[in-house]
Amino acid sequence: MIDVHCHLSEPVFDKDRGQVIERAGCTIIDSAIEPQLWEKSLEISRSHENVFSSIGLDPCQAEEEGYSRLAERCMEFIRKHRKEIVGVGEVGLDFLRVKRNRDLQTEVFRSFISLSNELNLPVVVHSRWAPKQAVDVLLGESAKKVVLHAFPGTVKDALRATEAGYLISIPTSVIRSEQEQELVQSLELKHLVTETDSPVMAPKRGERNEPMNVKLVVERIAELKGLEKSEVERITTLNATGLFGLLSKR
């Protein structure tokens, strides 16, 4: 199993990160989206065989002064550490929390897509309240390797993405989300990967989520599609391994 998107480097895991990784029972891709976490994520990856790093920038910071410069710093960091990084992201659009500077947010997103194409790295996309817009930008920029993290869009939006070869990442909240369940039922397994988005999106609201809960995503997908858990685990693992090139990073 592969948890393609979580935030293992966040301070909420500082006290027991080692135990969290040990009980995960899966491969983990940590998404570090704040400057103070970028190097920390690489250090965690260096110390644990089953942890990999994806480096990005929270799009909600678009409302802060100096967002463009911060994005430049992030891209410089990714270039410098290209051999240790398996993904660009998460990056993207957030039209829920960002009320202004949306044009700047979109411009920066385009720059990250260009970087992912240049470096041949997958881009991990955040698209809260902007799923259609995010897919529009990805298609417009001819994005090559894409995973849409916790995609909030309609089946129609998702099909536009999968027709372009993009993957849809199903989070732990599929246990209770009708929208995510509809995506699972409507999309072919070859287009799906699994994630927890830890520490959020826990199976029970208000609790801290962990990478070990990715097994619950596999179980729910299997139930919804009438498949064996082993088959869901096998295909989603192949999908993620192929996209992120995980076997070639160690």
Rounded to 5 degrees, what angle do the CA atoms 179, 243, 228 make?
55
* pLDDT score at 248: 45
* pLDDT score at 250: 43
Distance of CA 210 to the CA centre of its chain: 15
* pLDDT score at 205: 87
CATH of the domain at 227: 3.20.20.140
* pLDDT score at 101: 87
* pLDDT score at 241: 97
How many independent structural domains does the chain possess? 1
* pLDDT score at 191: 98
pTM above 0.75, yes or no: yes
* pLDDT score at 98: 87
The full DSSP string for 1-60 is -EEEEE-TTSGGGTTTHHHHHHHH-SEEEEEE-SHHHHHHHHHHHHH-TTEEEEE---GG
Residues of the chain where predicted confidence (pLDDT) is lower than 70: 247-250
* pLDDT score at 135: 98
pLDDT in tens, 80-139: 999 999 999 999 999 998 888 899 999 999 999 999 999 999 999 999 999 999 999 999
Range of the domain at 45: 2-248
* pLDDT score at 48: 96
Residue 28 and residue 210 in contact, taking contact as beta carbons nearer than 8 Å: no
